[in-house]
Chain A
Amino acid sequence: MRKTYLLLSLTLIMAVLLAACQPAATPTQSPAAMATEASTQPKMTEATSEEPVAETKLVVWDQFYRGVESEVIDQLNKEFEESHSGVTIERVSKVQDDLKTTVKLALSQEDGPDVAQVNQGRSDMGALVQADLLLSLNDYAAKYQWGERFSTSVSSRNSFTADGKAFGEGNLYGVSPTAEVVGIYYNKDIFEENGWKIPNTFTDFEKLLADIKAKGITPIVFGNLDGWPGIHEFSSVQHVLVDGKYINDFTYGVNNASFDIEQNREAAKIMQDWVDKGYFSDGFMGIGYDDSAQLFKAGQGAMMITGSWLAGELTTDADQQFGFFLMPQQSTDKPQLAIGGVGIPYSIRKTTKNPDLAAEYLDWMVSPRAAQLWAEARFVPAMPLPADFKIEEGSLFADTVNAWNVINRDNGVGHYIDWATPTFYDTISAELQKLFGKEIDPATFTANVEKDYSAFLASQK
């Protein structure tokens, strides 16, 4: 009898490990899904005069699974195959979480993907470089002159030293086709109705918030149930108070950067001040990101602080008009600095049998043709648009492209601070929820986050 029970209890617990070890495939930090109809016209490009090669298969893993993005990639792949006879591209598209959890192991295999999208930052690209699984792209960067398409600030985001320890310098390990900039979307209809203007300074912006609140309208639509949107609210204001050098040093973990500084406490204080004054959506702690975007799209608030990726969603089937501007600096003569960066880059597996072909594919993914297709799908491309490409003036997409150009002009492409350490995302999103929920004060917040940061810096030495 007892033996049967023993067996039974064993069977019951076995499910635990299985459940615990299964990564779920739901998008986490993914921006809202786009539903835009892309106006991609198949167009033949000049075929590269390559010698016809024998049947070669290039396996590519990406996370462009959403409708519009996927169409762009399919189109680019088709044109690549057409201009390279004998080459077939086997595309494996996964949601971001799924890619993140599987790509590392796959890249360590002999038959893994030749090309894969590898997230920037220490826990992904850094860990892979440390394990010697990615191909350094330095030679190809020179060959294809990627330096002319991407600024140093952009390239350093995809760079690590060969030992994978130092971030932001050393070898290039990836190229990103798309760009992102975090700023403020505003509802043009609400703004026009009330005669509000885009503010020029941060003081004006805070005054605007007060005016909007006085009218009984929600100033900032916000939902922090998922944790990561809070990073963008806080860090947008942080980027106003600090300078570009600090954000660089902090993200790359150099020059004894610390999180526990006056400017960060000040930014945290402003966040709590905005909570007290009711500038955020009612119940924002219990609203998810996608739901907050839907609320904003439906006109339930004047502004929303988030990234350029939402532009497509906001121009599809919306009965409101939207615009986009960067978080204003303290004074107009200060160079613009804003959270921004490039999308998840394509990298090459070190042990691939076709490194040259893979590099050619990477070059194609960041070609002017790719820029054009992305722009037609209303995504901001990371590389310059072809000179003859026309953007509809006054459109939301024109605003986001302009914002990206401005921060590039001012050398003010900031960072997603959650790249700073492998555990930083979990730490800061949890601590920010406590901050927004008024569970802790600004000083405790910066001290708690610094604990994670300094522990990591110490472990690197």
Chain B
Amino acid sequence: MVGRTLWPGESRLKGWVYLFPGLAIYLVFVFYPILETFHASFYKWDGFSSNRTFIGIENYRNLLGDGQFFKALSHNLIFLIFYCIFPILIGLVLASLLGRRPLPGMSFFRAGLFLPQVLSMVVVGVMWRWIYNPAFGPLNLFLKSVGLGALNRSWLGDFDLALPAVGVIGSWVQYGFCMVLFIAGMQRIPKELYEASELDGAGSLRQMIYITLPGLRAEFGVALITTIVAALRVFDLVFVTTRGGPGDETLVAAFLVYRSAFQQNRIGYAAAVATVLTLVIFLVSFLILRVQSRQEE
């Protein structure tokens, strides 16, 4: 916190006035709904009628006995690989290719590689549904044309492959963000470090390990939190591509919230799932930030 001391007689009120618009929006549209969701999780309620019954922690107790909830959560954990680990690795590789020295047509590649991040998730989902289509999708047609027709699958409808297939879409969307983040971070690292290490005989791999990676610590923190949160809250992609199917192979927690609340009129139960999901995300984010700030100290 860089603050200046108050002038004599200056009131703190002014600060609050400046803060008010943002704070009001935050309180009304974020804080209040979160509280209300938490509140609703203790009730049995269909979402529209006036009979709302307080049932204490019954919803949470049901949650613990709900195999589907844990299955959904386990899918979210698997999505961590696709939403978090892969994009960070791919982003790092691309950033080290594009970030260190200027290449011809660099901004073209940068923009092109960042593009998936810009598209609406619904568009992404519809597009990949077509790519994966077993009858006329380009993926199967490509496999066939190179003589790998035996590998043709009904990707999104395959009990073993549906989850990874949706996950790959997530990786495709997320890596661009990581890449741009790391490129920006690399440009902040002083060139002298590289020059000096080169004189000492360090190759590019060593430079990567001893200079680039430590220099990107802050960026890793941001990338980890955004991608992990994305993996835990994924809804749109599943909604557009598989709706949780086949069976419940791609069911995720946020989709369970939607299904319980809007298809089955179980607002209280949906709120309980949402509350648990929020706590998990909060906890993970908090831990990462703590670890990171400790390292900085």
Contact = CB atoms under 8 A, between A and B. Distances in A.
A, B: real partners: yes
Interface of A: 1-2, 4-6, 8-10, 12-21, 23-24, 26, 28, 100-101, 104-105, 107-108, 123, 127-128, 130-133, 224-227, 281-288, 291, 295, 300, 422-423, 425-426, 429-431, 433-434, 437, 439
B285 A285 contact: no
B220 to A, nearest CB: 15
Contacts of B136: 291, 295
Task: Count chain A CB atoms within 10 A of each CB in B152, B240, B264, B277 and give the residue with the most.
Answer: B264
B225 A108 contact: no
Interface string B14-42: 00000000000000011101100100000
A434 B247 contact: yes
Given A16-B281, A24-B240, A430-B248, 13 more contacts: A6-B289, A13-B278, A14-B34, A16-B274, A19-B254, A20-B254, A101-B262, A108-B48, A131-B51, A286-B158, A300-B135, A434-B159, A437-B157
B132 interface: yes
Contacts, number: 184
Interface residues of B, number: 64
Contacts of A430: 244-248
Nearest to B287: A9
Interface string B125-159: 00001001111100010000000000011111111
A380 B154 CA distance: 35
Task: Count chain A CB atoms within 10 A of each CB in B48, B50, B261, B290 and give the residue with the most.
Answer: B48
A150 B37 CA distance: 44
A interface majority secondary structure? helix
Contact of B245 (A14, A28, A123, A225): A225
B289 A225 contact: no
Contacts of B51: 131
A227 B243 contact: yes
Contact of A285 (B154, B236, B274): B154
Contacts of B171: none
B107 interface: no
B53 interface: no
B295 interface: no
A430 B259 CA distance: 13
B110 interface: no
7 tightest A-B contacts by CB? Answer: A283-B134, A285-B157, A286-B154, A131-B49, A286-B157, A283-B154, A9-B285
B135 A425 contact: no
Nearest to B282: A13
B285 A12 contact: yes
Interface of B: 1, 29-31, 33-34, 37, 46-51, 122, 129, 132-136, 140, 152-159, 225-226, 229, 232-233, 235-236, 239-240, 242-248, 254, 257-259, 261-265, 274, 277-278, 281-282, 285-286, 289-290, 293
B278 A17 contact: yes
Contact of B46 (A2, A24, A127, A439): A127
Nearest to A4: B1
A160 to B, nearest CB: 14
Contacts of A422: 264-265
Nearest to A218: B135
Given A286-B156, A431-B247, A19 B264 contact: no
Contacts of B155: 286
Contacts of A21: 33, 37, 257, 261, 274
B278 A287 contact: no
Nearest to B285: A9
Contact of B157 (A10, A101, A107, A287): A287
A350 B136 CA distance: 50
Nearest to A433: B246
Contacts of B37: 17, 21
Contact of B264 (A15, A291, A426): A426
A433 B278 CA distance: 30
Nearest to A124: B265
Contacts of A19: 233, 235-236, 254
B242 A225 contact: yes
